[in-house]
Chains A and B, each alone.
Chain A
Amino acid sequence: MSLLERVDAIIDRHGAEPSALIQVLLELQGELHWLPREALARVGERLVVPQSRIQRIATFYKAFSLVPKGRHEIHVCMGTACHVRGAGRVLDKVKELTGIAPGETDLELKFSLETVNCLGCCALGPVMEIDGKTHGKLGAEGAATVLESYE
């Protein structure tokens, strides 16, 4: 299926109305892991929403990315429970080893790094989630070991 066909299929599922914009973008983001320009153009056309508003939504909400993501998406939890248990040291280590800051993707498209406000696994804090898999009770050294296991 071509990109535009995939976009159309998503729009058809939600109904082509302006109020469906966020739900359509969420599903696009989920499938493609980012929001390519051509896809957004199609969404604007079919939902009759100007690009300025789409850009505003895509930058207001944290779930969206306007640049491609790496093969592995790292989410370091910075929730309060993880913070008091030393999440800052985990994040520092991940930044050092990947060479990227939160919101960035490395040049080889291996890792994308994001911080999240709470994954709700506070008992396991500090927590880091990579591609949906939770790694808990981490320290700086533990985080390094986890990262090494990703190709």
Chain B
Amino acid sequence: MTRIASPTELERIRAEVLAGRDPERPHVAVCVGTGCLATGARAVLAAFEAAIAEQGIDATVGVRGTGCHGFCERGPIVVIEPAEICYLQVKPEDVPELVRETLVEKRVVERLLYLDPRSGERVVRESDIPFYKHQKRLIFGPNRTIDPTSLEDYLAIGGFRALARALFKRTPEQVIEEVKAAGLRGRGGAGFPTGVKWGLAREAECEPGGRSSGASGASGKVVVVNCDEGDPGAYMDRSLMEGNPFCVLEGLTIGAYAIGASEGYIYVRQEYGLAVENVGRALRRLEEVGLLGDDVLGSGLSFRVKVHRGAGAFVCGEETALLLSLEGKPGEPRTRPPYPAVRGLFGRPTNINNVETWAAVPRIVSEGAAAFAAIGTAGSKGTKIFSLVGKITNTGLVEVPMGIPLREIVFEIGGGIPGGMRFKAVQTGGPSGGCIPESQLDLRVDFDELTRAGSMMGSGGLIVMDEETCMVDVARYFIEFLTDESCGKCAPCREGLRQMHRILTRITRGEGREGDLERLLELSALAKEVSLCALGGTAPNPFLSTYRYFREEYEAHVKEKRCPALACKALVRYVIDPARCTACLICMRKCPEGAIDGGKHRIHVIVQEKCTSCGTCLEVCPARFGAVRKISGVPVPPPPSEEERVIVRKKKAAAP
């Protein structure tokens, strides 16, 4: 592809790309996002290439590795177009059959289709699977149809049309007005109106004596993509960055034009190797064709972008900490104001938005603010991508309109709780978010409703918990996480969280004392009041929200030394039900402590004095027996007598 020097040329090249493509031509899309790669997608992709070549149909069938499709639970995912036949959990050894049957003989291979547990029927098309059917995949949707390394693929779905429109048909002010009118709010957590943020950065003046950025000596405004996705259980930013980097870069370039920035940075979390690779490749490609660099599309806009890898610090997701980290310093948040819009990276006016926010921009510019604002609630417009994880049947990434009831996400899209367990809570908003109990399941998910329920949107992690999840342990877990990630600048966060963690740990060990809960409330109030940044200010939320909705669990731990969820190791004993044990010897052999007494034809008994509650016996006891169970807060039943422990097997007893 040559340099694209004008919008006319862009359209000409797009027409060429489209003319060379037959929408009816069969092609195979294999998801090669991180989730599917972990289950072996790379080998599946290679197997398709080999099998297609072997069948001699490589001239008529296309194969591409795409970004994340979202249904990570059932990966590796393969979709065969144009019929959209969706095969799940495909293994390399399945591939020759799929190629022969579906691509050559045009037959569907039933056994790899989705089986709807409700109707008991197989589902052929990807979009008919209940997991996808209730979603509205405006931003995340293209992930499944394009190869993230191919600019041609992105152009074929209308890529860079929005940039051309912004550069040639709109003034920077008009672009900002459009984003404001769309009602787009920051997807990174706080939900600040994006258009307003852009306006502040546009109005800010560059200090003539501002510090320069080292050797390059650059000055002028800066735009930053925050892809330091640190919330455990949230990975939508990574999937967008891996699966559709051109879209994020198009949004960023539109933002640079609107704000008047000449330089952009992409700050990617250290663990996201594939995202760094894909966005780096996309950057180089755009520079080659003149969609980045000097004189973008012949508009005179000069804009360069660099990728910067994080080094493993949760607090760097906070914007002021992120900027210091970009400067090569420890990421410690500073007081605001001045806001980054006024004094940001190296003292230059800076605008930071989250990946998902940037990815929403091209759509707003190309489809118009009204179309975006038509979706959602009064205060929260558009769609939001959530990662639905934890104790849920369909783990994955889901994009839904703002205002959808939480119940619909958990039960219609997520398919409910696996293993016949009861739903207990959904944790939203990352470590400093909160837990939403069953009584609030009809809540309509948007920025304001979640805040009202004592939680927050955060970056969009939804962690589902069932009756086996202990809410005290969950609070302890998050406080431990935050203690570890506190940068150490403010005492109530650094020391207060440490004390909270100590008390919560004690409670989960059955050593809770009177006054512990009051002390936790006091430390929470202090950290909320005095901390400088959002990490410290919201850090007590996991305790406060679980205490608000699950107070009886705290009291059971402290007063009765009982864990109602049977999760806290120190409060749980394992016992073998003599009526169900068949003396199969498996748990006896696997117990690392040798704490199981038994033998052939002799019902097994756990010697409580030796047992460390590691849970191995429960894990290895075959499901058809289900003889091992957990108890808490009640005495261990006495073991059966030696006579009662003997199992007389009829068949074996009859043999000579």
Check if A50 is an interface residue, CB within 8 A of chain B: no
Given that A60-B313, A84-B474, A96-B592 are known contacts, is A79 also in contact with B72, CB under 8 Å in the complex? Answer: no
Query: Which of B12-20, B174-182, B383-391 participates in binding chain A?
Result: B383-391
Q: How far is the CB of A69 from chain B (nearest CB, A)?
A: 15
Q: Judging by beta carbons under 8 Å apart, are B463 and A81 in contact? A: yes
Q: Judging by beta carbons under 8 Å apart, are B463 and A124 in contact? A: no
- Partner among B308, B395, B478, B592 whose Cβ is within 8 Å of the Cβ of A122: B395
Q: Judging by beta carbons under 8 Å apart, are B39 and A124 in contact? A: yes
Check if B195 is an interface residue, CB within 8 A of chain A: no
Residues of B within 8 A of A127 (CB): 38
Interface size class of A (residues with CB under 8 A): 35 or more
Q: Judging by beta carbons under 8 Å apart, are B311 and A123 in contact? A: no
Q: Judging by beta carbons under 8 Å apart, are B39 and A62 in contact? A: no
- Partner among B313, B327, B389, B620 whose Cβ is within 8 Å of the Cβ of A61: B313
Given that A83-B477, A123-B35, A140-B619 are known contacts, is A62 also in contact with B312, CB under 8 Å in the complex? Answer: yes
Q: Judging by beta carbons under 8 Å apart, are B270 and A26 in contact? A: yes
Given that A18-B214, A81-B395 are known contacts, is A117 also in contact with B309, CB under 8 Å in the complex? Answer: no
Q: Which of A37-59 contact B (CB under 8 A)?
A: 56-57
Residue of B nearest to A116 (CB): B271
Complex: how many Å from CA A119 to CA B326?
A: 23
Query: Which of B94-102, B225-233, B251-259 participates in binding chain A?
Result: B225-233
Residues of A within 8 A of B483 (CB): none
Given that A139-B619, A141-B616, A141-B619 are known contacts, is A21 also in contact with B328, CB under 8 Å in the complex? Answer: yes
Q: How many A-B residue pairs have CB under 8 A?
A: 146
Given that A62-B313, A63-B270 are known contacts, is A80 also in contact with B330, CB under 8 Å in the complex? Answer: no
- Partner among A17, A19, A26, A86 whose Cβ is within 8 Å of the Cβ of B309: A26
Q: Which of B369-422 contact A (CB under 8 A)?
A: 387, 389-391, 395-396
Residues of A within 8 A of B325 (CB): 22
Given that A23-B309, A62-B312, A63-B311 are known contacts, is A80 also in contact with B463, CB under 8 Å in the complex? Answer: yes
Residues of B within 8 A of A141 (CB): 590, 616, 619-620
Q: Judging by beta carbons under 8 Å apart, are B481 and A121 in contact? A: no
Q: Judging by beta carbons under 8 Å apart, are A79 and B233 in contact? A: yes
Q: Judging by beta carbons under 8 Å apart, are A80 and B233 in contact? A: yes
- B-binding residues in A (CB < 8 A): 15, 17-23, 25-26, 56-57, 60-64, 78-81, 83-86, 88-89, 92-93, 96, 116-125, 127, 134, 136, 139-141
12 more CB-based (< 8 A) A-B contacts, given A80-B389, A118-B231: A15-B215, A19-B327, A22-B325, A62-B313, A63-B312, A80-B463, A84-B463, A86-B615, A117-B481, A122-B35, A136-B38, A141-B620
Interface CB pairs A-B, < 8 A, 14:
A15-B214, A19-B214, A61-B313, A80-B477, A83-B232, A84-B474, A85-B390, A88-B569, A96-B592, A117-B314, A118-B235, A121-B35, A140-B614, A140-B615
- A-binding residues in B (CB < 8 A): 34-35, 38-39, 72-73, 75, 213-215, 230-235, 238, 270-272, 308-314, 325-331, 387, 389-391, 395-396, 427, 431, 461, 463, 465, 469, 474, 477-478, 481, 487, 569, 590, 592, 614-616, 619-620
